[in-house]
């Protein structure tokens, strides 16, 4: 029965059009609804998760801005995000890392993020995150390794191939088993989504997309958001939040479904 349900989901996802857009299937439209529900009008930003009193310019609202800007119905919301970024003199061009997901290049090797407190307004604490430095063992972290793979590929450097091989070795059939996952015993959903996004960008047909999408489908909460962490049995070890949901949307919308059987 479980296999039939997964195959049904894959058939649904892999139906035309070639590129999935939010609202055309329930799987994605629910995620968009979650992002919209996280928006706090009096702040002009999305909160981190349900009940949270924190808003992050980076990474949450930058990712949400990039995703929601694709649809006219969110025009006013995204313009409000622009105003807040402008008020805090924070650029929407990128923070030295995430822009690599949107056709830009970054410094190599990728840097870890450093959090900054910006303000407290109307009961909400506002933070942002900037790229700080590259740890010596940066390639032992799945997200940094994938950012590096994408960056080298965009620059036309053949080194991306060896980085991608290392990233593929981290996928153990359940998630990205990097240094963090080994230490905590938890898989991070956004890293699996980033892995799928990278495979789609590189057009690597050796990746088992059906399996990855099947795992991701089990990590969507009733509110449409995707939970942050899980185990080998897809048991939830976290809660749904904006950042994770954005990564999953990016991954699924990057799929060229007609290229798959």
pLDDT in 10s for each residue of the chain, 261 residues = 444 344 444 433 433 333 444 334 678 999 999 999 999 999 999 999 999 999 999 999 999 999 999 999 999 999 999 999 999 999 999 999 999 999 999 999 999 999 999 999 999 999 999 999 999 999 999 999 999 999 999 999 999 999 999 999 999 999 999 999 999 999 999 999 999 999 999 999 999 999 999 999 999 999 999 999 999 999 999 999 999 999 999 999 998 655 544
Task: State the Cα torsion 249-255-256-261 to the nearest 10°.
Answer: -120
Which is nearest to 84 in space by CA: 66, 62, 100? 62
How many residues are given for the chain? 261
Structure tokens at 251: 């991954």
Contact 17, 255 (CB under 8 A): no
> What is the DSSP code string of 67-107?
HHTTSGGGHHHHHHHHHHHHHTT--TT-SSSGGGGGT----
Strands 124-131 and 113-121, how do they pair? antiparallel
Copy the structure tokens of residue 223: 């509110």
Predicted TM-score of the model (pTM):
0.90
The residue written with tokens 């990746």 in the block is 207
Alpha-helical (H) ranges within the chain are: 2-13, 26-37, 62-68, 75-87, 142-154, 160-170, 179-184, 189-202, 209-217, 242-253
Please give the Cα distance from 88 to 138 (Å, whole number). 30
């Amino acid at each position: 029965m479980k296999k039939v349900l997964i195959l049904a989901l894959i058939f649904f996802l892999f139906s035309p059009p070639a590129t999935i857009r939010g609202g055309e299937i329930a799987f994605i439209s629910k995620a968009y609804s979650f992002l919209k529900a996280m928006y706090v009008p009096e702040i002009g930003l999305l909160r981190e998760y349900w009940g949270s009193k924190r808003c992050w310019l980076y990474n949450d609202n930058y990712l949400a801005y990039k995703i929601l800007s694709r649809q006219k119905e969110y025009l006013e919301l995204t313009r409000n995000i622009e105003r807040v970024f402008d008020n805090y003199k924070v650029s929407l061009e990128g923070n030295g890392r995430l822009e690599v997901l949107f056709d830009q290049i970054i410094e190599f090797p990728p840097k870890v993020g450093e959090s900054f407190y910006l303000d407290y307004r109307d009961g909400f604490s506002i933070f942002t995150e900037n790229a700080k430095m590259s740890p010596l063992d940066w390639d032992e972290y799945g997200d940094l390794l994938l950012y590096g793979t994408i960056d080298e590929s965009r620059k036309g450097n053949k080194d991306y191939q060896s980085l991608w091989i290392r990233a593929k070795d981290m996928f153990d059939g359940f998630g990205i088993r990097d240094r963090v996952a080994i230490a905590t015993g938890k898989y991070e959903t956004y890293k699996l989504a980033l892995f799928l996004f990278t495979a789609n960008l590189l057009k690597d047909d050796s990746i088992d997309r059906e399996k990855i999408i099947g795992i991701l489908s089990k990590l969507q909460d009733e509110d449409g958001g995707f939970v942050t962490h899980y185990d080998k049995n897809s048991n939830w070890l976290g809660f749904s939040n904006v950042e994770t949901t954005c990564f999953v949307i990016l991954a699924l919308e990057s799929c060229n479904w007609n290229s798959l059987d």
